[in-house]
Structure 1
Amino acid sequence: MLRPVGLFLALAASLANAVPTEDCPISGPAFSSNFDLCKTDAFQNAIVTMPKEIEALMAAGKISSNTTTFSVDVFSTVTNQSVYSYNYIAPSLNGTLSAGKLDDESIYRIGSVSKLFTAYALLNIAGIEIFDHSVTQYLPELAGNTGPGKIIWEDVTIGALASQQAGVGGMPPEVTTCFLEPEPECSIVDNASFLDFMRNQKRPVTKPWTTALYSDASWGILGRVIERLTGQDYESALYAALTKPLGLNSSTAIEPSSEGLNAVVIPSVDGAVSGWGLDNPISAPSGGIYSSNADLRKLGLSILNSELLSPATTRQWLKPRGNTGTLTTQFGAPWEINRLSIPVSPKSTRTRVSDLYTKLGGNPQYTAVFALSPGHGLGYSILLAGPTSSTDRIPLRDIVGTVFVTAAEHAAVENAGRNFAGTFVDESAQGSNLSLTIDAERPGLGMPALYLNGTESRSLLMGPGFSIPPANLSVRLYPTGIEWNAADLAERSNVAVGGADANATYMSYRAWPRTMPEELRAEVEEGEGLFDHCINAFTTDFYNFGGTGVDEFVLEVVGGKLVSVTSILGGLKMLRID
């Protein structure tokens, strides 16, 4: 049997013997991501390799070449546009293209990716504070239950519903049957009947906040909350909150008009049910939206760029809200968060954790994948149609994520090697200099030396009184995401950057010093015992003066090139000399 080749096979081989990096980096990006991915060899190699990887999956029978039509789109926040696309028309489905073509504006059904639209609309309408409110504040007709066999709705918050932790389970069978029959009869299509069922008949699966268990009914409830907040039906509220402000051209909660339609339309024939046209207003917020890759790209970029929500709200939204029984998956609202172990450098057997925020979706004969990698400013979507689309979405999710997230990581390594590594000197303070390096098998910027007034001073980053031989000390620098320009320097008066450049971007990096040899990792990370001894997240900014930590370094970047590094510890600005 043939197997995926090229980049994917090389990655698979390197990960087969991979172990976590000993550097214990903090959660988040290892390098700054504000550079054009497409100008790096790592990303260009991924673009060239991706079609071969897909063809290899088809040849190996991992995805169907005859019965699944699909569209892939990868996008970046730096260019705010697609950086890779791939469209494939299955021979048996050639007659399903309403416009006779397949491109990023072709409409599919997206199933439970609809939950992402609902959460985003809710946050744009009411703010993230609503996650802490009881659902009965907005749907008082759910209130009043008592006893172990009833859902106590007063205990259920909006956030519990959005993060799959309300314990309310699946939709009523009268809603579910809408998607099981070629000619469906939906006996619950009105809010009153749905809410009555959820209050009086639906039994709890767990108590709220017990564990994360997937729930479609939660999103039926959240759709009704949106309708109460806006005084509109779900489709109209979605248009006002997302479709109109983002300029989405094809995203609707009802079947789009056939006039001028560019879509993959699979009919229900010969007893085979298709999700196209099976619309129910109760389940629409959970899995009823139609969309295209062009719209999903706009949606993803708007999230990563905080176009509708504040940056603080976006950061809070893109965080885990619950764990699962595996170390590699967490739940958000409604994110399915995959904790990926990616090689820290090309061909490396050392890995670090990078969180990919995904949402999967499925209707009969339609499936979808949506993913965001905030640390890389990257996202992708995959839309599939056909009788084998349900089984084909996971191999496609995996191959696109493996190739492009890894490529983005290694593109950042490449960019940092070109533009950040070097030697920096303060000629006004004799014997004051530092070096920044890119090191194979290690994340972040290395700092092998920091001389302040002739004294090697890296051990002082751990606090006053520390004196560790340089050979027993490792220091890595990581970005914090805090950036500012020359006009903002007045607010950073405690940071001695001096001679501000109007064209520069100033980036805050933090140093994480570690004594050698490294502390033990947990057995699950190829170490010993149950417990992990990585403590970097506990030590940041522990020692500070003037309001900032001795471990902060301010990097001055002009035209993408690092031109100076300011050490808060020494109060010195060191200029690049190579």
Structure 2
Amino acid sequence: MHLEKVLIGSLLGLAIPTTAHIIATEEVPLIGPSFISNFDPSNSKAIGNAKKAFPGLIDQLFESGKLNRTELAFTIDVYSAATNDSIFQYSHVGKSMEKTLTTGELNDNTIARIGSVTKMFTVYAIIAKAGMGIFSDPVTKYLPELKSTSNSSTRSPLDGIDWDDITVGALAEQQAGTGGIMDYIDEKDPTHYEVEDLLTFFREKRLPVVAPYHSAIYSDGGFAILGQVLAKLSGKSVPDAFEDILWKPLGMNSTSTTVPKGSDINAMDRARLGLGLKTSWGQDLEIVASTGSIYSSTADLRRAGLSILNSELLSGPTTSQWMKPRSGTGSLVELVGAPWEISRLEIPATPGSNRTRISDLYIKGGGNRDYTAIFALSPDQGIGYSILVGGPPEEATPARWPLRDLVGETFIPAAEYAAAENAYRNLAGTFVDQSGSGSNITLTVDRGHAGLGVKSLWLDGKDNRNGTHVRLFPTGLNSISKSLSSLYKKEGSMRIAHRSVSPMSPIESRADVEGGHGGLFDKSFTWMDVDSDGGEDLFILNLKDGEVDSVEYPLFDLVMKRVK
């Protein structure tokens, strides 16, 4: 089927027939995007169809009982690094939540609590202040108070945490085995939480959950300690460190670690329902400010997400290093970052295809009892989304997950297909060496295949491809900048490096888990073969205002111009 008909004719391009056998693409592409993101996805057919379908999909969640229509209020914001703005917003206010809105309206400036999304900001601030190198430092370098006063040679590893073995990175990656913090909170008078007491508790009383780096274990306690590392680095309190390192530079004027005050605050304030201590609104403890206390709006979360996608506060390489898995879990599709909860998605390579490719979605979820939140970034497509939810704990706590899934499953494939649309219109084509050497290349976008296809490659009148299956994938390298914002630059001229892969097709020994018959193992060695032939796989696409004007083949000193 002609790809254009599939792209334009598909409602969302999301659905795969339930009877289809889903298998990974034969190309076994490298991790990363299939196509470059130097275009405006908001104008695509795929995103447009997703936006039209979304309200009906939300109604299905209400009708199925997965969301409570009356008891919940939530707001959703989907944004693009190519536009540096929202591409879709949606909000719902249940009848029982109307009184909580201080302005009578729920919009992207409405403040709610974000719970453990705070942890992402703690790591962001530390990296912005000290760089990724701090991840290798023992935490006792910054908090010597954690050093044990007992003889470590005679102390059993079961009896306490040896903090000299714990690095800042282990805490950030949830791999320190430091566990929760409620046992500390419960034993103290709420009016007397002191840093000295916190460190003493974790030095003398906190038992390890697992050995360091044995397995990722979610750790509120570890992030309370990490907050004190941030305080030492900045020489300020955790709230002031956040303000100076993140809020002010990013213009996040609605974000704070304590309840916002004032007569003109735009907030979802559940204390207005007379709930007293049954709401977390206004119940703030500075001692845990680094693990789950932040108040924010989707507008501010968008500013933060775009700052990461565009590497505004960190260098491009530092951001890319941060946005990588740090540990696995017992699931093949759930990884752990610092402190990202990474979902490894199988996305159809093109609309309607049962062939999928891998794309990592970087998520941080959070909850403060009656407030929950989702913060998600998908670097492959250059989009992100945020969700803020308020309601009774028994409704708000579970509500974030179907909302997370629905937004991700609707807009991430749609953004993937938008990239395929753009590639079909602006990247594919035939390019010829105008010197008359008989050299040319034809690039295609093909149903069921990730990346650009090399339909033909003639060099000096000879077929260089010789029947080989070849596809091109972007490398993240371009001629104008190392900033990640260049990955989404739509205007002007730039050269973008691609590498070709020539996989075996089909890969008969593909593992069972990937839809093949190879048992536990496969033979997908694509990543080992890149640049194995001295640059023969390097192609450079020359873009002018988003369209490929010419293709360079540096090994043969060729520049092939588009045939209009």
TM-score by length of 2: 0.92
Offset at 1:288? 0.5
Residue number among 549, 553, 556 corresponding to 1:567 in the alignment: 553
Distance 1:519 1:569, change over 3 A: farther
What residue number does 2:410 align with?
403
Residue number among 515, 524, 529 corresponding to 2:519 in the alignment: 529
Give the number of aligned pairs. Answer: 537
Contact map agreement 1:350 1:441 (CA 8 A) in 2: yes
Aligned-partner residue type, residue 202 of structure 1: R
Distance 1:16 1:195, change over 3 A: farther
Separation in 2, partners of 1:176, 1:300: 34
Aligned-partner residue type, residue 300 of structure 1: G
Offset at 1:175? 1.7
Contact map agreement 2:22 2:515 (CA 8 A) in 1: no
Residue number among 460, 478, 484 corresponding to 1:483 in the alignment: 478
Offset at 1:271? 7.7
Aligned-partner residue type, residue 325 of structure 1: G
- Deviation digits for residues 456-483 of structure 1 (CA, Å, limit 9, x no counterpart): 113xxxxxxxxxx51xx21000000111
Give % identity. Answer: 45
Separation in 1, partners of 2:172, 2:545: 41
Offset at 1:429? 4.0
Separation in 2, partners of 1:389, 1:272: 17
Aligned-partner residue type, residue 478 of structure 2: E
Separation in 1, partners of 2:97, 2:504: 60
Offset at 1:13? 3.8
Separation in 1, partners of 2:78, 2:457: 40
**Do structure 1's residue 87 and structure 2's residue 91 form an aligned pair?**
yes
Separation in 1, partners of 2:207, 2:134: 25
The RMSD of aligned alpha carbons is 2.0
Distance 1:568 1:18, change over 3 A: same
Contact map agreement 2:142 2:229 (CA 8 A) in 1: yes
Offset at 1:270? 6.0
**Do structure 1's residue 126 and structure 2's residue 130 form an aligned pair?**
yes
Offset at 1:250? 1.1
TM-score by length of 1: 0.90
What residue number does 2:509 align with?
520
What residue number does 2:196 align with?
192
What residue number does 1:390 align with?
397
Separation in 1, partners of 2:371, 2:25: 39
**Do structure 1's residue 109 and structure 2's residue 99 form an aligned pair?**
no
Aligned-partner residue type, residue 273 of structure 1: K
Offset at 1:364? 1.3
Residue number among 263, 279, 294 corresponding to 1:274 in the alignment: 279
Separation in 2, partners of 1:349, 1:123: 40
**Do structure 1's residue 156 and structure 2's residue 146 form an aligned pair?**
no
Aligned-partner residue type, residue 550 of structure 2: S
**Do structure 1's residue 552 and structure 2's residue 535 form an aligned pair?**
no
**Unaligned 5+ residue runs, structure 1?**
1-5, 179-184, 459-468, 489-501
Separation in 2, partners of 1:177, 1:400: 40
Offset at 1:568? 2.5
Separation in 1, partners of 2:310, 2:397: 31
Distance 1:357 1:16, change over 3 A: farther
Is the deviation greater in 296-305 or in 568-577?
568-577
Q: Secondary structure at the match of 2:380?
A: helix
Separation in 2, partners of 1:177, 1:67: 34
**Unaligned 5+ residue runs, structure 2?**
1-9, 483-490
Contact map agreement 2:161 2:208 (CA 8 A) in 1: yes
Q: Secondary structure at the match of 1:342?
A: strand
What residue number does 2:70 align with?
66
Q: Secondary structure at the match of 1:166?
A: coil
Residue number among 431, 438, 444 corresponding to 2:438 in the alignment: 431
Is the deviation greater in 502-511 or in 204-213?
502-511
What residue number does 2:143 align with?
139
Q: Secondary structure at the match of 1:283?
A: helix
Runs of 4+ in 1 over 6 A off after TM superposition: none
Matches for 1:160-309 after TM superposition, within 5 Å:
160-175=170-185, 186=190, 189-267=193-271, 269=274, 273-309=278-314
Offset at 1:159? 0.3
Distance 1:69 1:177, change over 3 A: farther
Separation in 2, partners of 1:530, 1:353: 18
Contact map agreement 1:114 1:287 (CA 8 A) in 2: yes
Offset at 1:397? 0.3
Offset at 1:15? 8.9
Q: Secondary structure at the match of 2:116?
A: helix
Aligned-partner residue type, residue 106 of structure 2: L
Q: Secondary structure at the match of 1:88?
A: strand
Offset at 1:177? 8.3
What residue number does 1:543 align with?
533
Offset at 1:514? 2.1
Offset at 1:428? 1.5
